[in-house]
A and B are shown apart, each in its own frame.
Chain A
Amino acid sequence: MNNHHIISATDLNKDFDSLQVVKGVNLDVNKGEFVAIVGKSGSGKTTLLSLLSGLERPSSGRVILDGRDITDSSENELALFRRDTVGFVFQSFHLIPTLSAWENVALPLFPVKISAEKRRERALELLRQMEMEHRAEHRPSTLSGGEKQRVAIARALINNPKIVFADEPTGNLDSATTDAILEILKCLHADNGLSLVMVTHDLDLAESSDRIIRMQDGEVLS
């Protein structure tokens, strides 16, 4: 790994019982790079994303994320690392139904010792960037799919992450909303220099990235 890499994965394997889901993956992602991981369903792309982001531990191999070897980190160390360094955008949005839009955005900062006022201001600022400020007090159940994903993207950015992992971020959205969400992600990458690793099965979507990594049967093809 050199200083240009935000992620460096070496000989990464993941087994679930006798099933090998990720097989000997070697992968580097440069700082500020937008990488799309594509492949069919069951190709291991989501598992690879989980391994790269520290949500999952590899069966063997190593992952170095932002200069830190996270392979042997404890659950709590990984949680704190994710809070400080990583943002997530999920296909199913994964918003907390009891909290309003701005509170969902601020969720990663709840345990952080900053004033409630600053936390709210930061969340509202991100919602403004997502053109969602007017929905700040609304709960997820009253938001459309596209609005939910905008809130989820804002949440992924609340901690000023160095890298955002997006797992099928447009998988549950219609085509118009997909375009809008993709535009937001591209802007974040282009304007802020954010590293972005996106898993998708949509090749058209992947075309927007700097680099496409294809997976099949747990292996990286290119």
Chain B
Amino acid sequence: MYYRYVIKELRHRSNRTLVNVFGIAVGIALFVSISAVSTAYKTAASRPFKNIGADLIVQRAEKQQDQPDKRIKSMRGIRLPFSNQLFEAQDLLALQRIEGIDATTHALLLWEFAENGFRTIMGVDAGQSSLGAGKVRDWVKQGRFPEKPDEIALEKHFAKFQKIKPGDTFQISGHTFTIVGIIEIKEGAQVAAANIYMPLGIARMLLARKPDAMNLIYLRLNDPSMLNQVKSQLAAQIKGASISSSDSFLELMGGVSMISEKFSLIASMVALLGAVSLIMKTMIANLVERSHEIGILKAVGWTHQEIQKQLTAEAFVQTLAGGLLGILVGYFISFLLGFLSITIPIPWELNPVPAMAKQAQAASQIVRLPVSVSLPLAATAMGLSVIIGCVIGYVTGRRTSKMKPVDILRQL
């Protein structure tokens, strides 16, 4: 490789070099930032699930009451949420027949309509702290997680609103509980959010229906790419089940997220192709301008392959510089976009709060767009730059193969 010649050529034709470098930098910057934003939306949408370590949540909504005499007469007391009816024993057996499930845990979500207000209660499986609602055990901010039958923990904002603290007592459905901890829900983990947390057994006791009652099943898969496959199996095996994944959030987010989801690759490629056509055009114009030089090289004994190597090296250096600059600019754009906040709405079946409650609005959480330029993305961008450089070198080199030294020199 004739580095000295490459560098001198690029320096001498600095305007053209800068146009090429900036052209490719713009294309790469757009590719990086569009891809980063697209990934950020997916990350934001997957955060509620990721934070609780689950890939899927299975629920069963209340069936429509056809008979007027069976309609609810009063909402007062402990109730099952409309979207979280109890699972049957055969449902759990069905789960065992489904392939691709790595871990399963369950919880019992309850509503209490008391005289002094509405509250949500989550009965947490004490044996499983790495999955589902059990993750809240890791988020105890003050005190500890309840262990005894008369102990509960409160969500931070609820405790603040109620002006109660650890050591105080709290009444639920006529029972008195001691508050032993305050829990701070991790950003974006609304699917595990409740006002009150207690061991699963105590929640079952409050519901007073079945000793093994549960209405939320959290699943972790062996391989997240099997998501749709497992979803289909679940739908077939558990009749009436509502199955949610991060896709459910992405669908609700709509707008830009859907656009970037569907078109990010195309948009990135269009941006890159624009840059490639620009650099190709300038390189070919450059080739015409340098035909004299190519004639000299051929006359003094350079082979076609050696000239192609030289031109490829020049294109390579420019695209490499453009790629690096593009990644830096893309990183900067992504950094700025990271200051944007987006709303992650919760699908109604995952919303722990009834639609008529004032707190329902809180279920739509505003989070910072988690934009970041990952190493694989930067490597892909760099790889694309290199490929573009090689393609341009090849195309321009092919053109030189048709040039004969004497034809070029005769024109001078």
Residues of A within 8 A of B (CB): 50, 55-56, 75-76, 79-84, 86, 88, 90, 92, 94-99, 103, 107-108, 110-111, 116, 155, 159
Report whether B300 and A107 are in contact in the complex, using a CB–CB cutoff of 8 Å: yes
Interface residues of B in 287-302 (CB under 8 A from A): 292-293, 295-302
Q: How far is the CB of B148 from chain A (nearest CB, A)?
A: 81
Partner of A98, one of B12, B298, B405: B12
Q: How far is the CB of A141 from chain B (nearest CB, A)?
A: 10
Q: A55-B406, A75-B404 are in contact. Are A110 and B299 (CB under 8 A)?
A: no
Q: A56-B406, A90-B409, A97-B12 are in contact. Are A79 and B298 (CB under 8 A)?
A: yes
Cα distance A97–B5 in the bound complex, in angstroms: 11
Residue in B293, B295, B302 whose Cβ sees the most chain A Cβ within 10 Å: B302
Interface residues of B in 303-318 (CB under 8 A from A): 303-306
Residue in A97, A98, A99, A159 whose Cβ sees the most chain B Cβ within 10 Å: A98
Q: A80-B301, A92-B412, A94-B299 are in contact. Are A111 and B404 (CB under 8 A)?
A: no
Report whether A76 and B8 are in contact in the complex, using a CB–CB cutoff of 8 Å: no
Cα distance A90–B303 in the bound complex, in angstroms: 20
Partner of B296, one of A75, A86, A94: A94
Complex interface: chain A residues within 8 A of B296 (CB): 94-96, 107
Complex interface: chain B residues within 8 A of A88 (CB): 299-300
Cα distance A116–B305 in the bound complex, in angstroms: 20
Q: How far is the CB of A166 from chain B (nearest CB, A)?
A: 13
A110's nearest neighbour on chain B, judged by CB, is B2
Report whether B304 and A83 are in contact in the complex, using a CB–CB cutoff of 8 Å: no
Known contacts A75-B298, A86-B301, A107-B297; 8 further A-B pairs (Cβ under 8 A) = A79-B304, A81-B301, A88-B300, A94-B292, A94-B296, A94-B412, A98-B11, A107-B296
What 0/1 pattern do residues 1 to 25 of B give for CB contact below 8 A with A? Answer: 0101100110111000000000000
What 0/1 pattern do residues 204 to 220 of B give for CB contact below 8 A with A? Answer: 00000000000000000
Report whether B302 and A79 are in contact in the complex, using a CB–CB cutoff of 8 Å: yes
B3's nearest neighbour on chain A, judged by CB, is A116
Q: A92-B412, A94-B296, A94-B409 are in contact. Are A108 and B301 (CB under 8 A)?
A: yes
Report whether A75 and B304 are in contact in the complex, using a CB–CB cutoff of 8 Å: yes
Report whether B5 and A111 are in contact in the complex, using a CB–CB cutoff of 8 Å: no
Q: How far is the CB of B24 from chain A (nearest CB, A)?
A: 22
Residue in A81, A86, A108, A110 whose Cβ sees the most chain B Cβ within 10 Å: A110
Complex interface: chain B residues within 8 A of A84 (CB): 301
Cα distance A88–B300 in the bound complex, in angstroms: 7
Q: How far is the CB of A75 from chain B (nearest CB, A)?
A: 7
Cα distance A191–B409 in the bound complex, in angstroms: 30
Residues of B within 8 A of A (CB): 2, 4-5, 8-9, 11-13, 292-293, 295-306, 401, 404-406, 409, 412
Complex interface: chain B residues within 8 A of A96 (CB): 293, 296
Residue in B13, B298, B404, B406 whose Cβ sees the most chain A Cβ within 10 Å: B406
A51's nearest neighbour on chain B, judged by CB, is B406
Q: How far is the CB of B286 from chain A (nearest CB, A)?
A: 12
Residue in A90, A108, A111, A116 whose Cβ sees the most chain B Cβ within 10 Å: A111
Q: How far is the CB of B163 from chain A (nearest CB, A)?
A: 78
Report whether B404 and A108 are in contact in the complex, using a CB–CB cutoff of 8 Å: no
Cα distance A103–B4 in the bound complex, in angstroms: 9
Q: A50-B406, A98-B12 are in contact. Are A108 and B300 (CB under 8 A)?
A: yes
Report whether B406 and A111 are in contact in the complex, using a CB–CB cutoff of 8 Å: no
Partner of A111, one of B11, B12, B306, B405: B306
Report whether A155 and B9 are in contact in the complex, using a CB–CB cutoff of 8 Å: no
Report whether A76 and B299 are in contact in the complex, using a CB–CB cutoff of 8 Å: no
A94's nearest neighbour on chain B, judged by CB, is B296
Give 25 A-B contacts (CB < 8 Å), ordered by A residue: A55-B406, A75-B304, A76-B304, A79-B301, A79-B304, A82-B299, A82-B301, A83-B300, A84-B301, A92-B412, A94-B292, A94-B295, A94-B299, A94-B409, A94-B412, A96-B293, A98-B9, A103-B5, A107-B297, A107-B300, A108-B302, A110-B5, A111-B303, A116-B4, A159-B301
Complex interface: chain A residues within 8 A of B4 (CB): 103, 116
Cα distance A86–B404 in the bound complex, in angstroms: 17
Cα distance A63–B405 in the bound complex, in angstroms: 18
